[in-house]
């Protein structure tokens, strides 16, 4: 069962554009929502994460927006650069000791930023 | 500090052959995981180990076995490989930490496995 649905599958923007990737989750027990970035031939790496007690979190050019009532969250990349071209995964978990960090991932979005 | 290492990087198997994927981490993490990555499917958890001496099934455990050899090493075994197991396999490790009180997972570089 796919508990985290991610869209779009692929996204092409021009340099300086603001790509937006969306995710929706089903399990209301989830309370930790990370985004991972993956470059070709590499493993994913944590980009930014949020807990549902805030509606927005910014780290540099990356922003997570969170809508708890809609069970949706999204990643915005400001002033996108060709170096941001990668695959992005959203994920969800319940934080804390008993989850042991098990993550449920979305399907991934391949982002291409043209110069 | 190598982080998470995986061997081999690439492997081709014939249907029915067996093999073990090796994973090691040098960050003193308690938790380790095995995922598979398939196009359009994201990463799916195969098995995880919350701590040394414990293992548990994830979302897609069928056809796989694991061994948590010690705190550093967590191996994944395919006893009788099938074409459906053609995938990229990632090992990860984590520890409960940070301001969010959560687990940041650190991934290895992956093993690309083809079963013919």
pLDDT for residue A95: 63
In contact, A88 and A101? CB cutoff 8 Å: no
A32 contacts in B (CB within 8 Å)? 100, 102
Interface probe, candidates B38, B59, B105, chain A, greatest A C-beta count within 10 A: B105
Q: What would the pLDDT profile of A49-74 be if each residue is shown by its tens digit?
A: 998 889 999 999 999 999 999 999 99
Shortest distance between the Cα of B16 and any Cα of chain A, in A, equals: 27
Identify the CA nearest to B109 among candidates B20, B25, B13.
B25
In contact, B103 and B31? CB cutoff 8 Å: yes
Output the CA angle A48-A50-A55, nearest 5 degrees: 120
Burial of B19: CB neighbours in 10 Å, binned 0-12, 13-18, 19+: middle
- What would the mean pLDDT of B58-87 be, rounded to a whole number? 96
Q: Do B100 and A32 touch (CB under 8 A)?
A: yes
pLDDT for residue B5: 97
Cα separation, A57 vs A70, whole angstroms: 17
pLDDT tier at A44, thresholds 50, 70, 90: very high
Q: What would the pLDDT profile of A2-23 be if each residue is shown by its tens digit?
A: 589 999 999 999 999 999 999 9
Identify the CA nearest to A93 among candidates A79, A80, A106.
A106
Checking if the pLDDT of A98 tops 80, the result is: no
């Amino acid at each position: 069962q796919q508990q985290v649905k991610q869209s779009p599958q692929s996204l092409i923007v021009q340099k300086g554009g603001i790509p937006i990737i969306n995710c929706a989750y089903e399990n209301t027990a989830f309370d930790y929502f990370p985004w991972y970035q993956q470059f070709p031939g590499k493993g994913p790496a944590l980009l930014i994460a949020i807990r549902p007690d805030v509606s927005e979190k910014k780290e540099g050019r990356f922003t997570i927006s969170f809508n708890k009532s809609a069970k949706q969250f999204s990643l915005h990349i400001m002033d996108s650069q060709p170096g941001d071209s990668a695959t992005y995964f959203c994920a969800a978990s319940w934080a804390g000791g008993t989850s042991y960090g098990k993550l449920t991932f979305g399907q991934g979005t391949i982002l291409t930023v043209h110069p | 500090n190598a982080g998470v290492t995986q061997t081999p990087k690439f492997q081709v198997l014939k249907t029915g052959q067996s093999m073990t994927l090796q994973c090691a981490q040098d960050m003193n993490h308690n938790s380790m995981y095995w995922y598979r990555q398939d196009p359009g499917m994201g990463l799916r958890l195969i098995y995880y180990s919350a701590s040394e001496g414990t293992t548990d099934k994830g979302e897609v455990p069928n056809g796989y076995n694991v061994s948590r050899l010690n705190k550093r090493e967590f191996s994944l075994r395919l006893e009788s490989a099938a074409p459906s197991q053609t995938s990229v396999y990632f090992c990860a490790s984590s520890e409960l930490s940070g301001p969010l009180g959560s687990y940041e997972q650190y991934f290895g570089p992956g093993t690309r496995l083809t079963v013919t």
